Structure formats: structure tokens, C-alpha cells
Structure 1
């Protein structure tokens, strides 16, 4: 698993804890990294996870409005806690990070496959894809290579090398 995905998973865990406990962002981050977080997460990933969690928490109203606009017949409060926080995290990346929207969606779906249900993955994909289409119409995103894409390329190359070792 790449360090950026691990960072997103840590951010999701912080958001889940905040949603359940109502703890302030600064206190939550401190508690997460000292008591709950994965000690093996390297500093750049910790920084990214913290930025995602704090940023998401500070923009909740804006994020929830975007989600509500595309979650027909669903109130945010009725969604499973993990699902609504996966959505919030991805929409935060759409709006406030340089991550390509398709990468943010793919990452959200991979995390949903790990932490939620198959049905939830479809639900999350539908909402994120609709929000992405809305945003693409308003503000097309220029393509730039991001750390996520570079990490995916590295992981792909490693996998190809590993497969090649067994041949011949």
C-alpha cells in the first residue's frame, strides 16, 4: 500500500473519531498520533493525513452541501459514518488539494472497499462521479502529475519487476 493511501486511511480514522466523539480537530490530531495512529507512518504521510483531516473538518458545511446536492433522498446524518467521511475526504481533495479528481475517486473507492461494503462502494462512486461531473463542467481540471500518480507508477513498475523475476 502506498504512503498516500495510508495517509488517507489515517485521515479517515481521524474523521470517523471526530464524527463519533465531537472532539476538536487539534485535540483529535494530537490524540490520534500519540495514542491511536500507526507508528510506522512516515512524517510526509503523517503531514498529509493531518492536512486532509483538519482541512476536511474545517470545511464540513461546504463539503456536506456538495454531497447533499448529489445524494438524492439521503441526508448526511443517515449515511453510515464511514461512508459520509469517505465522501467528505474525497470532496475535500476535489476542492482544496491538487489531486486529480479521478485519483481522489479511485482512492476513495479503494478505501471504501477496505472499510465499508460493496453497496456503499457503488453509492460512494455514484455521488463522487456526479460531483466530479458538476465540477468538470464549471472548472475543468488541468492535468498535472501528482505524488499519487507517481506513487501508482512506482507500484506498477515494482509489480511488473516482481512478475518478471519468476519468468524465464
Structure 2
């Protein structure tokens, strides 16, 4: 698994956790990332993803709901919702190439979601192409 893929995996775990027990302190977040990744580049990338999703969550959620017709975020599985947020952040605000962002999100959905998660995530993110 690449360093960036591993960073995305840990970022997804934090975003999922945010819905239940957020690590509000940046120092706490850095400590957690260091313990899980133990690689300065991976830690920095994961932190960028997490803080970026947190900062832009309102706009990201609006875009996901606009595209995901007949699906509110509250109806989505928590894993799918957070994979979508992560992928959407990379597409809308990051410098990750579109296809890479979508493929990475689909891989996370396959790994952590249900059997329907990957096609669901792919379908929504594919519609976000600028």
C-alpha cells in the first residue's frame, strides 16, 4: 500500500470517529497520526485531508447531497458518507488528479464498506468532475 493510500485510510478512520468522538485538538490529532503512520510525509498528508474535510464539510456535504439525488447524507452508511467526503475534498480542493481521487475512494469503499459501497461512491464522485 502506498504512503498516500495509507494516509487516506487513517484519515477515513478519523473522519468516521469525528461523528462520534472528535479529536478537536490539533496536538491530539498529530499524536494519533504519528502513532498510526510514523512517517512525516504520510502524517502531513493525512492531516491536510482531515483538516480540509473538517474546514470545508458544509460545502462538501452540500455538493454530495446535490449529486446524490434521493439520498440524504443521514441515509448513507457512515463509512460511505465519510469516504465520499474524503474523495470530494480531494476532487474539489486538492491537487490529486481526478481519476486517482476517485480510484482511491473506491478502494476505501471496497475495504471498509459494504458490497454496494464501491459502485455507490464511484457513481457519486464521478459526477463531481469539474
TM-score by length of 1: 0.72
* Ranges in structure 1 where 5+ consecutive residues have no aligned partner: 136-168
* Ranges in structure 2 where 5+ consecutive residues have no aligned partner: none
Query: Given the alignment of the two structures, is residue 104 of structure 1 paired with residue 130 of structure 2, yes or no?
Result: no
Query: SS of the residue aligned with 1:73?
Result: coil
Query: Given the alignment of the two structures, is residue 66 of structure 1 paired with residue 63 of structure 2, yes or no?
Result: yes
Q: Deviations over 1:43-102 (max 9, x none)?
A: 100100011001101100000011001111111112111111100001100111111111
Q: Deviations over 1:86-126 (max 9, x none)?
A: 00001100111111111000000111111111201111111
Deviation at 1:25, TM superposition (A): 5.9
Aligned to 2:39: 42
Hey, what's the Cα distance between the residues in 2 that align with 1:33 and 1:106?
23
TM-score by length of 2: 0.91
Deviation at 1:41, TM superposition (A): 3.6
Hey, what's the Cα distance between the residues in 2 that align with 1:25 and 1:102?
33
Equivalenced residue count is: 130
Q: How do 1:64-143 and structure 2 match up within 5 A?
A: 64-132=61-129, 135=130
